[in-house]
Structure 1
Amino acid sequence: MHRLDTIDIRGKRVLIRVDFNVPIINGKIASDFRIIKTLDTIKYCLDNNAKIILMSHLGRPEGKEVKYSLLPVYEYLKLIFYNRNVIFSDDAISAISIDVSLNMKPGDIHILENLRFNKGENLNSYSFSEKLSKHGQVYVNDAFGTSHRKHASNASILQFFKIKSIGFLLDSEFKYLSNLDLSSDRKIVLLLGGAKVSSKLGIIKYFINKANCIIIGGAMSYTFLKIKGYDVGNSLVEESMLDDASFIMEEAEKNNTKILLPIDVVCSNKISEKSTLSTKNISDINADEMGLDIGEKTIDLFSEELRNSSLIIWNGPMGVFEIPLFSKGTRRIAEVIEECTEKRDVKSIVGGGDTASAVIDLNMQKSFTHVSTGGGASLELLSGKKIELIKSWRDYE
């Protein structure tokens, strides 16, 4: 795969797959992290007098849903590129939108409506990708967040372009996450949270003989606590993953990999901003209670391990962090990792998704070594898997 600065784009129509899947609240962008990360690619194209067509998805719409429109992104980009002609089309493959692209002038920016408004995107449709391809003479992919998906805009579309490349963001994500030093003399801590064991199974298995310690917090910890014999009340447990969790514990013991689980949790009988809270040892959770954050003893336990590491890979919050009552564990752990990075020369990697959102909400993104723009994509790359985009690229080389 060639990087953008190795191909000739001067004066050409450049169709760029970006990841503008950003949080939007009341019609306004709540976090522009992913957009900012793509600006180097866009500005390079502008510096080369290219005509830029941007395509992205937003959320998981079922058909055309107004709340998933990319109009707020268009309004945002108009402010950034106030001295450029920024155009929006409300249908990615209509004859009108294609005609707009064909008649662009150098330096113009054309933003297409949400790709997932057409079912052909997720289906990797030949006809949908063929119509999309008519927008550009050159194809660029800079959407790391969707690079693990076999969708029309990053798979089938490749066959229609002789000139194609990856953008600067995608290149940096691939290089950084694919070339981690996992040598045996490093003290590696894998810190996992979030809801489901199933979504983290690949990375756990990959690191089971590489990490010194795997710390498991968040809702996924209750599946592991259950197989250790604890009654976790109404806490989320993936019953279908109990055997896998048991296997992981056994493999960790064989490989002398420490697994740390919560020893106390913040409990409530409902997930609400008005919940009544109590912090309890894991052996004391009532039948009608759920564990919704890690407690003080657990924060101290996890922090001690993190401070003794040389590489921290973090994916998944420690609790229901989007509700302030249950965000303390995630915030405190983020502060410890920030301290380790800045004062102890520890490398810290945040694996995108909800974790990146939490770090950005706390305004700590600049304190970590690398904050990825991809959730599932970063997990797959960190798990040693071949990313779908790379497979598709080779198919249509």
Structure 2
Amino acid sequence: MGWNTLDDMDLDGKVVLTRVDINVPVDQGEVTDATRIERIKPTVTDILAKGGKPVLLAHFGRPKGQPNPDMSLRITVPTLEKVLGRTVTFMERPSRDDIDAAPADSVILVENTRFSSMETDNDPKMAQFLASLGDVFCNDAFSAAHRAHASTTGVAKLLPNCAGRLMAEELGALEKALGSPERPVVAVVGGAKVSTKLDLLGNLIDKVDVIVIGGGMANTFLAAQGLDVGKSLCEHDLADTARDIAEKAAAKGCEILLPRDVVVAAEFKAGAAATTVMAEEVPADQMILDAGPDSVAHIAQVFARAKTVIWNGPLGAFEIEPFHKATFAAAQDAAAKTKAGELITVAGGGDTVAALNQAGVSGDFTYISSAGGAFLEWMEGKTLPGVAALHT
């Protein structure tokens, strides 16, 4: 790989600045989902086991470079202590003397790095200040790796550095899925708009064998083929772009798979009267809100031939019944094949993770990325500053 891991570092007696992502959801002063905190436990535990003192750097919310009591990381301390099984010392304005004075087996949490605009500006002064607090830098926040911030890239260039357990796990899984995958490779790409996924599609054409397109963006491709998509969400102004993507894919030997049949309704609301029609028979007063059962069966056939599936985006408006069926059915099929050892499945992105959780299959995929924007930019083939800064 091009970076060190915790196994490569001498941490005994060292202060280890550890960039983590504990930007967890909170309601009425309580953490409602501790997943992100749970996922940093192996890194923190291993640093302590190697004699290091972990000092956690993290952001929380969008304070826009100003201190905001409502976005203080202090709120995460009780959950951190519960997950880690030890006391966590919170420091609002840390100094190296304060950190050194804490017991050797302490876990220290520093206040929200984004309370200063110097963080997002990757100001060298802030990077130097952070570096002055520790001896080693460990980045365990792949989800923030697409940001060139003081706590992700600036400090990494000033101290001996390594990837934490979660970061290394993420990078290993993603490399296996798209860098050097077992073929054939299928990418499932959904979402509302083609315009947000142009870079992604352009990169995948060169990397995968089949692209399954779902969600609202599939409507744009259907319309580009001359089909009437009724009142569906559709970027008609991108018809030429969609045709260009399809032509480039064909030239590269990459198959574009669009819905054969679709689920339509007159309005987008829970329990709306829905019918299934062929993609070329969408009524003018209806909108496409999901892929149909024949489309799901076709996707299952593609999965049956595949060795690797990488997934970003739902196939329909899964948040509202009955428009969840295609996403759930395809996800359950991929999960079953993964459990049977027939498929490597890697997924990421907020909507994707939510859909897989609701479908009850998260635990059966090979790997689910904890990242959102970073996962998408990685799929787009972009260099992630937080990863590049770790290269040895």
Q: Give the TM-score taking structure 1 as reference length.
A: 0.85
Matched letter for residue 247 of structure 2: E
1:13-52 mapped onto 2 (5 Å cutoff): 13-52=15-54
Q: CA deviation at 1:125?
A: 2.1
Measure the CA separation in 2 of the matches of 1:313 and 1:5.
29
Distance 2:386 2:359 in 1: 32
Following superposition, the deviation at residue 59 of structure 1 comes to 4.1
CA separation of 1:241/1:102 partners in 2, compared to 1, >3 Å: closer, same or farther?
A: farther
User: Residue 319 of structure 1 is aligned with which of 313, 316, 321?
Assistant: 316
Q: 1:249 to 1:127 in 2, by over 3 A?
A: same
Tell me: CA distance 1:301–1:17, structure 2 relative to 1, closer, same or farther (3 Å). Answer: same
Q: Distance in 1 between matches of 2:251 and 2:336?
A: 32
The alpha-carbon distance between structure 1 residues 363 and 251, as it changes in their structure 2 partners (threshold 3 A), is same
Give the share of equivalent positions with the same residue, in percent.
34
Matched, 1:166 2:163: yes
Q: Which runs of 5+ in 1 are unaligned?
A: none
Hey, what's the Cα distance between the residues in 1 that align with 2:127 and 2:231?
45
Counterpart secondary structure, 2:60: coil
> For 1:324-373, what per-residue CA distance to the aligned partner results, in whole angstroms no more than 9, with x for missing partners?
54332221111010111122511111134332333234442331122222
Partner of 1:108: 106
Structure-2 residue corresponding to 1:76 = 79
Secondary structure of 1:44 counterpart: helix
| Aligned residue among 333, 336, 345 for 1:336 | 333
Offset of 1:253 from its aligned partner? 2.1
What is the DSSP-based 3-state SS (H/G/I as helix, E as strand, rest coil) of the residue aligned with 1:121? helix
| Cα 1:197/1:67, change in 2 over 3 Å | farther
Post-superposition offset of 1:127: 2.8
Tell me which residue corresponds to 2:261.
Answer: 264
Is this contact kept in 2: 1:269–1:288, CA < 8 A? yes
Q: 3-state DSSP class of the match of 1:220?
A: helix
Q: In the aligned structure 2, how far is the partner of 1:43 from the partner of 1:23?
A: 23
Q: Which moved more, 1:239-248 or 1:40-49?
A: 239-248
> Root-mean-square deviation (CA), in Å?
3.0
Tell me, in whole angstroms, the C-alpha distance in 2 between the residues paired with 1:108 and 1:271: 52
- Give the equivalent residue in structure 2 for 1:55: 57
Aligned partner letter, 2:175: S
CA distance in 1, matches of 2:133, 2:334: 44
Q: Which runs of 5+ in 2 are unaligned?
A: none
Aligned counterparts of 1:187 and 1:86: Cα–Cα separation in 2: 47
Report the Cα offset of residue 284 of structure 1: 4.4
Distance apart, 1:378 and its partner CA: 2.9
- Aligned partner of 1:381 in structure 2 is 378
Q: What is the distance in 2 between the residues matched to 1:66 and 1:285?
A: 51
Within the alignment, does 1:218 sit opposite 2:215 as a pair?
Answer: yes
d(CA) in 2 for partners of 1:286 and 1:337?
32
Query: Are positions 1:88 and 2:85 aligned together?
Result: no
Structure 1 Cα separation of the partners of residues 263 and 26 of structure 2 = 29
Amino acid at match of 1:329: A
Match for residue 150 of structure 2? 152
TM-score of the pair, normalised by structure 2: 0.86
Report the Cα distance in structure 1 between the residues aligned to 2:313 and 2:341, rounded to whole angstroms. 23
Within 5 A, what are the aligned runs for 1:218-237?
A: 218-237=215-234
Could you list the per-position Cα deviations for residues 37-89 of structure 1 after superposition, in whole angstroms to 9, with x for gaps in the alignment? 3221110012123222112223444455566443443221111233x221234
In structure 2, what is the Cα distance between the partners aligned to 1:269 and 1:115?
A: 47
The worse-fitting range, judged by mean Cα deviation, of 335-344 and 236-245 is: 236-245
Assess, with a 3 A threshold, how the Cα gap between structure 1 residues 236 and 134 changes in structure 2: closer, same or farther: farther
How far residue 375 of structure 1 moved from its aligned partner, in angstroms, is: 2.8
TM-fit CA distance, 1:239: 5.2
Change beyond 3 A, Cα 1:134–1:234: farther
**Structural mapping, 1:248-259, within 5 Å:** 248-259=245-256
- Distance between the aligned counterparts of 2:388 and 2:179, measured in 1? 24
CA distance in 2, matches of 1:375, 1:22: 13
Structure 1 residue 7, shift from structure 2 partner: 1.4
Q: Tell me the distance in 2 between the aligned counterparts of 1:151 and 1:106.
A: 28
The amino acid across from 1:81 in the alignment is L
* Residues 261 and 279, structure 2, Cα contact 8 Å, conserved in 1: yes
